[in-house]
Amino acid sequence: MKWSQYFIPTLKEVPAGTEAVSHQLLLRSGLVHMLTSGVYSYLPLGLRTLSKIERIIREEMDGSGAHELRMPAIQPLELWQQTGRDKTLEEVMIRFKNKKGTAMCLGPTHEEIITDLVKSFVQSYRQLPVTLYQIQTKFRDETRPRFGVVRACEFIMKDAYSFDVDAAGLKLSYDAMYLAYKKIFARCALDPIIAEADTGAMGGSLSHEFLVPAAIGEDKAKDAAGQERQCIEVGHIFQLGTKYSEALGAVYLDDKGRQQSMIMGCYGIGVSRLLATIIEVHHDDKGIRWPVEVAPFTVEILPLQIGELAVMDLARQYYDELTKYNIDVLMDDRDESAGRKFNDADLIGLPYRITVGRRGLAEGNVEVKHRSTGEVELVSTDRVVERILALVRK
């Protein structure tokens, strides 16, 4: 992708009213745009990273044996009344009546909806266990949205739900999700504290939170050294038991023909919150430092003198060769000053930057910068693609 043909509205100044570094950098890097408090558009650069986070989640969820589906955001309030959570979540639930006068809501979560769905199709123990998940937008009328997409009114969440015949089966499903979560967060370059937690409004007998230490965190947890840390909750898993299946009549026939309530678990990850959390952990005073697997692009090619044929020919050569190797490349072909280009490069924080300039070419080399460490290598012009491939594959 060429910068001149892309939409990256970077900002020089820190936007007024922003507290969190991640919020500031999301706005300044042209990743998101605030429509109103707690409601954001994801711009092309932000959407690319969000898509890469979602891909990681899908790969690990699919690998755990879960199956993806998509449920509606518009939900009949009647289902929530059957479980009593129309009262529990009353403060954040966005409600309305449709043209027929039926009470509806915009889904803040989907336990009731998935339970109603599964009970319509599963009647026998032979159809269990099953784990289903979705990546979908949720809606909560937060009284005080904070820190950009960390606590928003409209946000993207991965929610999964397991259905088993007994507690032993639930433990297997729960353990599979626990392991999948560890893999997901590791691939997002995060090292969360995993803590047993209160089940709260979700209910159930056991839950674990996945908490990433960060200054803006609204949760507290003790690390391996016993020190209490401010943390952002990025994931939460629950052993629900029969709370929802009993309330909504989700039953199956066991091997003796007896009717039993399905045993449930639920498993959530704040997908859009992950976007901000990664930035909270991976940044410096110049901008974002994206980990390779979630970066919107892996490499930026920065030609310094776009009017010089030799400089642009080599930049285009690198662009074409790396693209053939399926490396995501952004080339800053704008007619801007070197200072502006370098500042924007550090701001958006792609993992590797190739700087092609007149002086380097005269000496037969170009600069390769590692954004994560600030290290700059001088690489022979004929070894650049080879070096980038080695770095990415590592």
Q: What is the mean pLDDT of residues 192-216?
A: 85
pLDDT band at 204 (very low <50, low <70, confident <90, very high): low
Q: Check residue 295 and give its pLDDT.
A: 98
Q: What is the mean pLDDT of residues 351-362?
A: 96
Counted domains in the chain = 2
CB-based contacts of 365: which residues, under 8 Å, 6+ apart? 378, 379, 380, 381
Residues 21 and 152 reside in one and the same domain: yes
Measured between alpha carbons, how far is 343 from 329 in angstroms, rounded to an integer?
18
Residues 306 and 264 reside in one and the same domain: no
pTM: 0.95
Task: Kindly report, residue by residue over 74-132, the tens digit of the pLDDT.
Answer: 999 999 999 999 999 999 999 999 999 999 999 999 999 999 999 999 999 999 999 99
Q: Length of the chain in residues, anyone?
A: 394
CB-based contacts of 203: which residues, under 8 Å, 6+ apart? 238, 240, 241, 243, 244
Q: How far is CA 39 from CA 22, 35, 193, 273, in A?
A: 16, 6, 29, 13
Per-residue b or e along 56-71, where b marks 16 or more CB atoms closer than 10 Å to that residue's CB? bbbebbeebebeeeeb
Q: What is the mean pLDDT of residues 129-156?
A: 96
Q: Looking at the domain assignment, is residue 289 inside a domain?
A: no
CATH code, 345: 3.40.50.800
Q: Check residue 206 and give its pLDDT.
A: 86
Cross-strand partners of 154: 139
Residues 116 and 183 reside in one and the same domain: yes
Range of the domain at 380: 297-393
Domain end position, chosen among 284, 319, 349 = 284
Q: Is the pLDDT of residue 201 over 90?
A: no
Mean model confidence pLDDT for the chain: 96
Residues 174 and 256 reside in one and the same domain: yes
Contact of 96 with 105, CB cutoff 8 Å: yes
Tell me the DSSP string of 213-239.
E-TT-SEEEE-TTS-EEEEEEEEEEEE
Q: What is the mean pLDDT of residues 257-267?
A: 97
Q: Is the pLDDT of residue 200 over 90?
A: no
DSSP for residue 146: B
Here the tokens at position 118 are: 């599964």
CATH code, 8: 3.30.930.10
Q: Looking at the domain assignment, is residue 29 inside a domain?
A: yes
Task: Kindly report, residue by residue over 270-316, the tens digit of the pLDDT.
Answer: 999 999 999 999 999 999 999 999 999 999 999 999 999 999 999 99
Percent of the chain beyond pLDDT 90? 95
Here the tokens at position 226 are: 């016993």
Q: Looking at the domain assignment, is residue 170 inside a domain?
A: yes
Q: What is the mean pLDDT of residues 146-165?
A: 97
Residues 80 and 161 reside in one and the same domain: yes
Q: Check residue 205 and give its pLDDT.
A: 75
CB-based contacts of 205: which residues, under 8 Å, 6+ apart? 199, 239, 241
Contact of 119 with 248, CB cutoff 8 Å: yes
Residues 344 and 382 reside in one and the same domain: yes
Residues 222 and 172 reside in one and the same domain: yes
Phi first, then psi: what are they for 110, rounded to 5°? -135, 25
Higher pLDDT, 390 or 202: 390
Q: Check residue 394 and give its pLDDT.
A: 82
Q: Check residue 363 and give its pLDDT.
A: 95
Q: Looking at the domain assignment, is residue 357 inside a domain?
A: yes
Q: Looking at the domain assignment, is residue 196 inside a domain?
A: yes
Q: Check residue 198 and give its pLDDT.
A: 75
